[in-house]
């Protein structure tokens, strides 16, 4: 799972940087996916240490859930305009964060099933 956090953190960071450059470096809001991706990268690095893995991955899952819900709420509050780059950025962030959250959830359930009964 730490590797997935690194992958998704990188993708979100690249998405934010790409939309920022595409916006002519004039819209700071284009960097929002990167503002989720960078902490996700850091949590992925922290999760490489076995003693931090559980806490770092749970924090990464919470961040991913928030990163999925925020753009969905934003998209739901206004008409969907596919001509706007911001709409595509929000859809991309929601998709990446939602997918990562679901993979985290599956991993947590699988780990719970593998754990011996206490």
Q: Which residues have a Cβ under 8 Å from the Cβ of 28 and sit 6 or more positions away?
A: 20
pLDDT, one tens digit per residue, over 43-56 is 999 999 999 999 99
Query: What is the rounded (10 degree) CA torsion for 43, 49, 54, 58?
Result: 0
**Does residue 40 sit in helix, strand or coil?**
helix
| Domains of the chain: total | 1
Burial of residue 50 (CB within 10 Å: 0-12, 13-18, 19+) is: exposed
pLDDT confidence bin for 118, thresholds 50/70/90: low
**What is the span of the domain harbouring residue 56?**
2-114
pLDDT, one tens digit per residue, over 5-59 is 999 999 999 999 998 998 887 888 889 999 999 999 999 999 999 999 999 999 9
pTM: 0.88
């Amino acid at each position: 799972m730490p590797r997935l956090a690194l992958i998704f953190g990188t993708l979100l960071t690249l998405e934010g940087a790409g939309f920022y450059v595409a916006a002519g470096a004039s819209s700071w809001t284009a960097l929002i996916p990167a503002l989720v991706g960078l902490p996700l990268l850091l949590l992925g690095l922290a999760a490489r240490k076995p003693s931090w893995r559980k806490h770092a991955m749970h924090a990464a899952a919470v961040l991913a859930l928030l990163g999925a819900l925020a753009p969905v709420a934003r998209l739901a509050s206004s008409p969907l305009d596919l001509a706007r780059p911001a709409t595509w950025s929000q859809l991309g962030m929601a998709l990446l964060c939602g997918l990562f959250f679901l993979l985290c959830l599956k991993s947590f359930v699988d780990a719970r099933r593998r754990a011996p009964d206490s």
